[in-house]
Amino acid sequence: MLSKLGKVPDEVRAVMENSELDAFRCSHVRYRPAWELLWGNISKGSVCVAGDALHPMVPDIGQGGCAALEDGVVLARCLGEALLKNKKQEIKGKGEEGKEEYKRIEMGLNKYARERKWRCIDLTFTAYAVSFIQESEGKIMAFLRNKFFSPILARLLFKKADFDCGKLRSP
Ligand SMILES: Cc1cc2nc3c(=O)[nH]c(=O)nc-3n(C[C@H](O)[C@H](O)[C@H](O)COP(=O)(O)OP(=O)(O)OC[C@H]3O[C@@H](n4cnc5c(N)ncnc54)[C@H](O)[C@@H]3O)c2cc1C
């Protein structure tokens, strides 16, 4: 890898040089089809999935890690809103308080799941379609790709990266 790095800043080269070979673990690239996201659970009770556990996708649009960051912000916002909104309606008894908090967390996670579902379907499907177009062989496909798809794909990449996660409120 070091021999193929070319001209990169010293800091980047240092990351490679200081990485131990036994720190790498290889595993298969995973993909979750859109219908699994459509029908599957993103949250259940007080548990939810985020990042690659939620939306493993092919790397062709470079959005897997970005989407994981989006998950984090949306999750924090949904949990924060659920906990703040219901603060005034707190039930007095001690045992009831725990149940109420659990319900609030569940509500927040349900909202997170609703908000993320279509965004994740959109990203995983787009990544798959882009990978299909980019990796297909044959003269006709190469012609279509070079003539028509290239500018569309470039615009699409920027469009998909532009996502508003909403504002995080402080208590
Ligand atoms: C070739 C390639 C290129 C990519 N390019 C881009 C790009 O340009 N832009 C982009 O946004 N994304 C890109 N991605 C995707 C991005 O790397 C991932 O989507 C992102 O790292 C997912 O983050 P995550 O936190 O969900 O999972 P991970 O980063 O995989 O983190 C999971 C962590 O959990 C740890 N773990 C696993 N099992 C256990 C366990 N049992 N106990 C404790 N810890 C455990 C792992 O060691 C790991 O540290 C690319 C991916 C690949 C493969």
Q: Give the pLDDT score at 126.
A: 92
Q: What is the pLDDT of residue 49?
A: 97
Q: Give the separation between CA 143 and CA 168, rounded to whole angstroms.
A: 46
Q: Which tokens sit at 48?
A: 């939810």
Digits of tens for pLDDT over the chain (171 positions)? 888 888 899 999 999 999 998 988 888 878 888 889 999 999 999 999 999 999 999 888 999 999 999 999 999 999 999 988 656 555 555 567 778 889 999 999 999 999 999 999 999 999 998 888 888 888 888 888 888 888 888 888 889 999 999 998 776
Confidence (pLDDT) at 147: 84
**Per-residue pLDDT at 92:** 52
Helix (H) or strand (E) holding 48: strand 47-48
Distance 68 CA to ligand 1 centre (A): 9
By most ligand atoms within 8 Å of CB, the mutation choice from 52, 61, 74, 130 for ligand 1 is 52
Dist CA 81 CA 87 (whole Å): 10
The ligand 1 atom at the shortest distance from the C-alpha of residue 51 is 26
Determine the pLDDT at residue 90.
55
Residues with CB under 6 A from ligand 1: 29, 51-52, 59, 62-66, 68
| Proportion of the chain in helix, strand, coil states, percent, rounded to 5 | 70, 0, 30
What integer pLDDT is reported at residue 149 of this predicted model? 84
Residue environment code for 92-127, b if the CB has 16+ CB neighbours within 10 A, otherwise e? eeeeeeeeebeebbbbbbbbbbebbbebbbbbbebb
